[in-house]
Structure 1
Amino acid sequence: MLTESDNISYRFSCPGPGVFRCNLTGLMFVMTKKAELQYWTVQWDERVLQPAGKTAAGPLFNIQSSPEGAVSQLHLPHCETMDAPLPEGLLSVVHITDDGMSILKLLHITDTHVVVKVLHLSAFGLVTNDEYRNTANRSVNGQVLLFLQKPQSETQKQYLDVFLLPRNVPLSEVIARHQDVDYIKAPPRCQLIVGESYSVDCPEAALIQPDKAVFDLEFEPNYHPMFEIRLPTNKDKMTLKVQDQTNPEVWKYEMDLKAPRRRHLKRNLPAKVLVQQTLSVPAETPNVLADEKLKSVRTQFIERVTDSNLNTLLGKLLDQRIINDGEMESAENPIRAKKAGALIDMVRKKGPEACSALITALCEVDPFLSKLLNLQ
């Protein structure tokens, strides 16, 4: 049974075959033809997960396509740090329909996504085995989100809500559920440890509640703040730190309380309609243009890509069977520039689909270089 969350729906039109990325949710779609995609989050049903010994490891997305059969692969964002090889069974992708839940075979896991082949669209989500849920010292990519309540003139106080969440929770989903407060745009990224106790330090605060809280991987429909900070309204600036038992500065931000950084959502429209009308979901260039894009950035790619990232790219292309073992060996060269040239030329000869795969891999491995080359 699927229970639709009271949130937002995402929609965009894919102009043709290619690899497309939703900048709001992090989902990536490999398309075989022109189609319109629409998707939204639905609530996980513990009655389905528990008998299978599974726990949610990301949001559950219900995906539709018109026409059907246009999506061949789905990339779901994960929050694992990938500092070491993941234990077998740590991440799985489930497909939930009216007939029940099935576990899909993984094609591969990148630094940011889990990739599966899809035949029929319905609800897809990441899960982990129950045994891994609270593994000791399991570090994940997290995010700190701040929401400021309106000042209370009668008490001369204002409240700041602090959220500690896995990074694969879409910001748009959290904002949609907290439309009565103002989102404070701040650099959110940090690493968090599952099961670790965290606290917040803010010298300007009149009160922080609670004193400590344990971080867990929660992907519930209603995201709740982990801490509430009471601030005097006469303060212009504040310094906020998130800390654990051993690290006094997991995350730090100096905030100007008077700066116009707050973003409002309209209050008089349902969130689902609001985002469809006001937010378009950017997509990457179709792979019919991927060959020309690689050709245009060949010189810069050769000059700037690092040797370690070249090795990672070769490994990803081998895993996806874009290249074979012999081609990987032929591309190996102690001179970095020659290796980079061999890689990009070899992929370009294989056609637009292979070029699109290399562009996608580069965006994941080196987002800064891919942005510099205008490949994102």
Structure 2
Amino acid sequence: MEEESQDCVRVSDSSAEAMEELSITECRVVDQSLCTTDPPMRSLENFEAEIYDHEGKGAYRFQCPSAGLFQCSITGLVFKMEGEVEVLYRTVPWGRRLLAQSVKRPAGPLFKFRCLKGSVCQLHLPHCEICPGGGCDFLSVAHVTDDIIELIPPHKITETHVIINIYGFCDYGLIKDKDSPVFPIKAQVLLFYHPSDDPELEPVLHVLLLPRNVVLMKVQEERARRNGMRETFIETTSDCELTPDQIYSLSTDGYHKVTPKNKKFDNDKDYENYTTTFAVFLPAKVQKAELTLKKKKNIAWSILDLLSSLFVNHEYPWKGFYRYHAPVPAATPAKPYTFPGRDFIPKHRMALETRMGLLQPIFPRLQDHGVLIHEEREEVDSKSTKTLQNQALLDMVVRKGARAQEHLYQVLKEVDPCLVEDLEEQAV
């Protein structure tokens, strides 16, 4: 066992072999007041973590060769090592009930760690706050074990990271008070292109507004899992500053429809949701797409000539990206679109109210297409019976017109094909 006076936990090879989950049996943190100075250490070194599959989810492995400071190029985490060490880590969902009981909200991803051997004595968690006067004293670190959150005051806060001294590893993540001051944060605009299987339907550009310290690879992994690897991530200039809880609008050059027109930047939920903020419908053969994100009249982010860099595809959601370019045809006036599934919902409305199945796999797909917003989903969920929920969802979709009904039709074909086939066969 380690001695109480040590600055870092040391795990023996025999105990490491007993750890089958991505966790550690004994997790303690150092009293931050006991570490007022940092011992001399060589300069920061960047490393690219090895990606491996853990229970069907992407996780990261770092085999550290020596003492020093090492930064992960994927997550932004910095480890301070006393010697050779192997660390496994991944992101996990926040326990919203525990956060609510502590009157806290996330300020970064929650990381689960496992230290197989060696010693790690300091952890630097990336933050995205822009703190007036250089102070971010409203930030703290949550040390999560089972159903307990231990709040750790930082040892030090820099412009980019919150630093804590530790005895071992469990789950660590940045949090802040629910009523903490609202300042602009470092954020990013991410773009995902979703093609249409139907030539009569426009492809959709999904625009996500996210805090800068989300793990981009995790976003790509989750979007690929949800959409069956059909989306294309578009690499472009994404950095910006956004203010939490403020309303933003996305405008285009006039060739494209954007839905919704306005949306609140709700960054609290964006460390694991990764849902679409704005959906942009792209008419066929339009050469350019100019997007501008605004808060009232102030421009927060913009991009010109988007479509020339459209084709940036991925081989696998967490194994990097390769780029290819395709010629873009000249712009032509957009023709009116028809919707093959637009009659499906009115024709089968009564049957859908009683026979439509689980709505949970339907909701995220409709949100990704801009058909539903989070508040509308909550309204549907609030209904007391399954039939009332189905009726509420159908009412919302019908009110939004033919395009929304077509999206619901396509989603139902994907998640409940037997129901769609049966109803269409009855209509023949």
> Which band: TM-score by shorter chain?
0.5 to 0.7
CA shift digits 1:205-233 (9 cap, x unpaired): 43110000011222442310100000112
Correspondences of 1:210-249 after superposition (within 5 Å): 210-217=260-267, 218-247=269-298, 249=299
- What amino acid maps onto 2:75 in structure 1? T
The equivalent residue for 1:97 is 145
Deviation, structure 1 residue 240: 0.9
User: 1:234-261: per-residue Cα shift (whole Å, max 9, x none)?
Assistant: 11221111111130x2111123425464
Matched, 1:203 2:253: yes
TM-score when normalising by structure 2? 0.58
Amino acid aligned to 1:112:
T
* Whole-angstrom CA distance in 2 between matches of 1:240 and 1:162: 10
Count of aligned positions? 263
RMSD value over aligned CA atoms?
A: 2.3
For 2:186 and 2:56, locate their aligned partners in 1 and report how far apart those are by CA, in whole Å. 26
Match of 2:423 in 1: none
Does residue 144 (structure 1) correspond to residue 144 (structure 2)? The answer is no
- How big is each residue's C-alpha offset from its partner over 1:72-91, in whole Å with a ceiling of 9 and x where there is no partner? 00000001013424353x10
The answer to whether the 8 A contact 1:147-1:160 is kept is: yes
Q: Distance in 2 between matches of 1:205 and 1:7?
A: 39
Choose between structure 1 and 2 for higher RCO, CA contacts under 8 A separated by at least 6 residues: 1
Q: CA deviation at 1:99?
A: 6.1
The whole-number CA distance in structure 1 between the counterparts of 2:56 and 2:163 is: 27
Within-5 A mapping of 1:259-270: 259=309, 261-266=311-316
Matching residue's letter, 1:79: C
Q: How does 1:322-333 map to 2 (within 5 A)?
A: none
Matched to 1:96, the amino acid is V
1:149-182 deviation line (CA, Å, top 9, x unaligned): 1144422511000001110011111100112310
Asked if structure 1 preserves the Cα contact closer than 8 Å seen for 2:234 and 2:310, the reply is no
1:78 is aligned, of 115, 124, 127, to 127
C-alpha spacing 1:257/1:122, structure 2 compared with 1 (3 Å): same
Q: Which amino acid aligns with 2:145?
A: T
Q: 1:310-355: per-residue Cα shift (whole Å, max 9, x none)?
A: xxxxxxxxxxxxxxxxxxxxxxxxxxxxxxxxxxxxxxxxxxxxxx
Separation of aligned partners in 2, 1:177 and 1:230: 22
Q: How does 1:38-49 map to 2 (within 5 A)?
A: 38-49=88-99
CA deviation after TM superposition for structure 1 residue 184, in Å: 0.2
In structure 2, relative to structure 1, the CA distance for the partners of 1:127 and 1:6 (3 Å cut) is farther
Residue of structure 2 in register with 1:9 after alignment: 59
Distance 1:110 1:261, change over 3 A: farther
2:205 to 143, 153, 160: 160
Identity within the alignment, %: 32
Shift, 1:122, TM fit: 0.6
Tell me the equivalent position of 1:123: 171
Gap change, CA 1:153 and 1:210, over 3 Å in 2: same
Given residue 141 of structure 2, which amino acid in structure 1 is its aligned partner?
V
Query: Is the CA contact (8 Å cut-off) linking 1:11 and 1:38 kept in structure 2?
Result: yes
1:247-297 deviation line (CA, Å, top 9, x unaligned): 0x211112342546412143xxxx6xxx4xx46xxxxxxxxxxxxxxxxxx
CA offsets 1:78-108 (integer angstroms, 9 cap, x no match): 01013424353x1000111136221123111
Secondary structure of 1:106's partner?
A: coil
**Equivalent-residue separation in structure 1 for 2:121 and 2:312 (angstroms):** 39
Over 3 Å counting, the alpha-carbon distance change for 1:124 and 1:111 in structure 2 is: same
Question: SS of the residue aligned with 1:101?
Answer: strand
Moved more, 53-62 or 154-163: 154-163
Among candidates 113, 126, 148, match of residue 161 of structure 2? 113
Q: Which amino acid aligns with 1:131?
A: D
2:146 maps to a residue whose letter is D
Structure number with larger C-alpha Rg = 2
Deviates more, 1:71-80 or 1:91-100: 91-100
* Structure 1 residues 260 and 52: CA distance shift in structure 2, 3 A: closer
C-alpha contact (below 8 Å) 1:95/1:101 kept by paired residues: yes
- Flag the 1:182–1:17 CA change in 2: closer, same or farther, 3 A: same
Structure 2 residue identity aligned to 1:246: K
Q: For residue 84 of structure 1, what is the amino acid of its counterpart? A: G
Deviation of 1:65 after TM superposition, in Å, equals: 1.4
Q: Please, which of 201, 222, 234 is the counterpart of residue 184 of structure 1?
A: 234
Secondary structure in 1 matching 2:106: strand
Is there any run of 5+ residues in structure 2 with no aligned partner, and where? 1-21, 24-53, 225-229, 321-428
Q: Which amino acid is 1:158 matched to?
A: P
**TM-score normalised by structure 1 residue count:** 0.66
- Give distance in 1, aligned partners of 2:99 and 2:55: 18
Task: Report if aligned partners of 2:115, 2:168 keep a CA contact under 8 Å in 1.
Answer: no
Pair 265,98 (structure 1): closer, same or farther in 2 beyond 3 Å: same
**Matched-pair contact (CA < 8 Å) for 1:238–1:254:** yes
Contact 1:7 1:173 in 2 (8 A): no
Question: 1:24 is matched with which residue: 58, 74, 78?
Answer: 74
Q: Which runs of 5+ in 1 are unaligned?
A: 280-376
